[in-house]
């Protein structure tokens, strides 16, 4: 499958995850988010940005518990819950946040557990 952003065609897997994370940028994130029915603002953007920064620094996708710890530290304990994360990404952290952040599909969607 493919995704077209600003005239550039990007390869994706059958679920819409980028095959090459290095092709990610803000315009790509916005297009993927739009396809997921989400807006890149507020806490949604903070999670996506954290996932991307974590990946850039560690060459790995953070597990949901790492994201929850970050949300708790930066936005307060009431925001560092799985319930809040699912409010932001109703189809799951791995399925939506990681996709919007330009990750390949996580090998284990245990990221959502």
> What is the residue-level pLDDT of the chain in tens, covering all 113 positions?
999 999 999 999 999 999 999 999 999 999 999 999 999 999 999 999 999 999 999 999 999 999 999 999 999 999 999 999 999 999 999 999 999 999 988 776 544 54
Burial class from Cβ neighbours inside 10 Å (0-12, 13-18, 19+) for residue 22 reads: exposed
Please answer whether residues 11 and 19 qualify as being in contact, where contact means their C-beta atoms are separated by less than 8 angstroms.
yes
Q: Report how far residue 65's alpha carbon sits from residue 35's, in angstroms, rounded to the nearest whole number.
A: 26
Per CATH, is 2-112 categorized as 1.10.10.370?
Answer: yes
The residues near 97 (Cβ < 8 Å, ≥ 6 apart) are 47, 48, 51, 67, 88, 89
């Amino acid at each position: 499958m493919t995704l077209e952003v600003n005239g550039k065609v990007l390869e994706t897997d059958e679920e819409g995850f980028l095959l090459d994370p290095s092709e990610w940028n803000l315009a790509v994130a916005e297009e993927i988010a739009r396809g997921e029915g989400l807006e890149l603002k507020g806490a949604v953007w903070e999670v996506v940005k954290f996932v991307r920064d974590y990946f850039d620094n560690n060459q790995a996708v953070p597990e949901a518990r790492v994201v929850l710890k970050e949300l708790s530290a930066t936005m307060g304990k009431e925001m560092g819950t799985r319930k809040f994360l699912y409010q932001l990404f109703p189809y799951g952290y791995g399925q939506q946040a990681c996709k919007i952040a330009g990750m390949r599909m996580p090998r284990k969607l245990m990221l959502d557990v």
